[in-house]
Structure 1
Amino acid sequence: MSEPRLKNLNLYLQRLGFSAPPAPTLETLQQLQLRHTGAFAFENLTTLSGEPVLIDLASVEHKVLHQGRGGYCYELNNLFLALLQDLGFVARGISGRVVMGQPEGAWTARTHRLSLVMLDGVRYITDVGFGGMVPTAPLLLDTSDEQSTPHEPYRIEHHADGYTLRAKVGDEWRAMYIFDLQRQEDIDFTLGNWYVSTHPESSFVKQLMVARTGQGWRRTLNNGSFAIHRIGEESERRQVTDVHELIGLLESEFDIRVPAHEGLTHTLQRLIVVA
């Protein structure tokens, strides 16, 4: 095994419930992905504060493991990929185009990061940074069959331009994102992150988006709309209009240590005001 890329591998593993580095097996990959989406929230507080989103590995590691934060795909999937590689998995970063909520056939910007993993000659995709619909298990790439996870079923469609990931929401197979296996370098992720975190049309600079998973549930927060989605049950929803209540919610329900930042507080208050 090569020299670890992570400075705090043991701490990272402890946060995921491992007392020692596990073997690079499919069972390990499944446990890592499930536990990661529960331990580290998807969140975009940094973009709302107006600060730059640093996606180099050292910065992400410090933010997530030492500052009590989560992140989005360019952060969480970068960190997770380094973990996989340090544990001996054969894995690399790939990218995609988010089409969730778009008309069927939409072709959006390449702004999502995920990972491709090879295990005993079998290819999987793994993703811990896709917000409220993040898959909670690795998915076989080379099959169109429905694949179960601890949460919703997913399937992958192969087409001329790559692949489309779909999730079964109710009785509907909704497209999540389109991706391919093209080689990606740090500069490709830097460009995508720059767009996502700074472009005025990016949803990441216009709204609060937070998500976390647990056994049988997903929690989401979009601006002031907080929801708990339980498998097979009606979702619980409520509106938050007080910024101090919102910050308390981020800490208690998503395990995020909200930074003391006056500009961020003002932005959050503006976003949760009910029109």
Structure 2
Amino acid sequence: MPAYDLCVIFPLITDPESHIVSAYFEKIGYTGVRAPTLDMLQCIHLLHPLALPFENLDPLLARPVSIETEAVAAKLLGSARRGGYCFEHNGLLASVLERSGFRITRLAARVLWGMSDQALSPRSHMLLLAHLEEGDFVVDVGFGGGTLTAPLRLDMTGEQQTPHGLYRIEPHGTDYLLQARREGAWRPVYRFDLMPCLPVDYIATNYYLSNSPASVFCKTPFLAKVTPQGRYGLLGTQLSRRDTEGELIERRTLGSVDEACQVLSDVFDVEVPDMASFAVVWRRVLNTVRD
């Protein structure tokens, strides 16, 4: 009886998500060699945030957020101009990297952005660790206005230059502390350990962050977009623009629903999925600011 290569005969059965890899590379514009190297990782890590925005419109508009790979790929890689938050961005990237031959560990972090490095916060952020011949690298394309645009060496305690600013990773007790250089000072981004997570470990946190009235993602618009010249951010009604070193260039307040939708489309490349619901939410946000 002849031997058959079942991976050739049934490619979609052996790897039902194989089509996602090609769609992902097309979306971000990656045309390089597909091999698990540092060069490939660095290229993808820059192209991903340049192509895919960070946004929270689904939680904000009370729409369900699935972190299943197929659902995330349909949202971020489909014809609609959409982005997502950490579980979507880093979850999708983890799947693509693993199917490209990389060895990836999923991790969780305690967000400290805008807080002290001693603050207590839950392990609510997803990040990745890539294991390469050169060493272990922190990978994170889903942290809003502080999103990395290059992988960072885990074992390097000094400052590390990325296309969009300086970062450093320092030991912090039994954890690691990621810091970003902003406006002349080192600011804590998040604290993490090396305990591996499985995709199922993020389900409860994702549900809370996308459904709880106490979650910032359910309260106010939160968007970020990387460009070759820097970053744009939107928190509530405040639109900001920073250069590649994180220095603030401009900040202004958005007013009407029409202006907000125009900015989402033109600046963040995001298509509002439900205009009627967004109009209600935006007016609520405006009233909160005025009060």
Do the two structures share a fold, i.e. TM-score over 0.5? yes
User: Is residue 2:65 matched to residue 1:53?
Assistant: yes
1:10 alignment partner, one of 14, 22, 26: 22
Counterpart CA distance in 2 for 1:6 and 1:111 is 29
Bigger Rg over Cα: 2
Residue 244 of structure 1 corresponds to 258
- Residues 243 and 272 in structure 1, CA contact (< 8 A), matched pair in contact too: no
| Aligned 1:66-105 pairs, distance under 5 A | 66=78, 67-105=80-118
Query: Secondary structure of 1:38's match?
Result: helix
1:122 alignment partner, one of 109, 118, 135: 135
Structure 1 stretch displaced more, 75-84 or 227-236? 227-236
Query: Secondary structure of 1:43's match?
Result: coil
- Residues 13 and 20 in structure 1, CA contact (< 8 A), matched pair in contact too: no
Structure 1 length as normaliser, TM-score?
Answer: 0.94
Gaps of 5+ in 1: none
Query: Secondary structure of 2:158's match?
Result: coil
User: Is residue 2:123 matched to residue 1:110?
Assistant: yes
Whichever residue aligns with residue 40 of structure 1, its letter is: L
User: Is residue 2:171 matched to residue 1:158?
Assistant: yes
Query: Secondary structure of 2:267's match?
Result: helix
1:132-181 deviation line (CA, Å, top 9, x unaligned):
01111000001211100001110001132311100011221100001111
- Residues 136 and 150 in structure 1, CA contact (< 8 A), matched pair in contact too: yes
Counterpart CA distance in 1 for 2:205 and 2:16 is 26
Residue 75 of structure 2 corresponds to 63
Gaps of 5+ in 2: 1-6, 8-13
Counterpart CA distance in 2 for 1:201 and 1:80 is 28
Counterpart CA distance in 2 for 1:236 and 1:6 is 42
Residue 286 of structure 2 corresponds to 272
1:65-114 deviation line (CA, Å, top 9, x unaligned):
11321000011100011111111111121111101111330020110001
| Aligned 1:199-214 pairs, distance under 5 A | 199-214=212-227
Counterpart CA distance in 2 for 1:180 and 1:136 is 21
Cα-Cα RMSD: 1.8
Percent identity, please.
Answer: 36
Give the superposition deviation at 1:261. 4.3
Give the superposition deviation at 1:268. 2.1
Counterpart CA distance in 2 for 1:143 and 1:21 is 27
Give the superposition deviation at 1:6. 4.3
Counterpart CA distance in 1 for 2:117 and 2:172 is 14
Counterpart CA distance in 1 for 2:197 and 2:160 is 27
Structure 2 length as normaliser, TM-score?
Answer: 0.89
Give the superposition deviation at 1:16. 1.5
Q: After TM superposition, where is structure 1 displaced by more than 6 Å over at least 4 residues in a row?
A: none
Counterpart CA distance in 2 for 1:139 and 1:234 is 24
Give the superposition deviation at 1:253. 0.7
- Residues 73 and 129 in structure 1, CA contact (< 8 A), matched pair in contact too: yes
Give the superposition deviation at 1:237. 1.4
Q: CA separation of 1:180/1:82 partners in 2, compared to 1, >3 Å: closer, same or farther?
A: same
- Residues 241 and 248 in structure 2, CA contact (< 8 A), matched pair in contact too: no
- Residues 115 and 126 in structure 1, CA contact (< 8 A), matched pair in contact too: yes
1:166-197 deviation line (CA, Å, top 9, x unaligned):
00112211000011111212232001111211
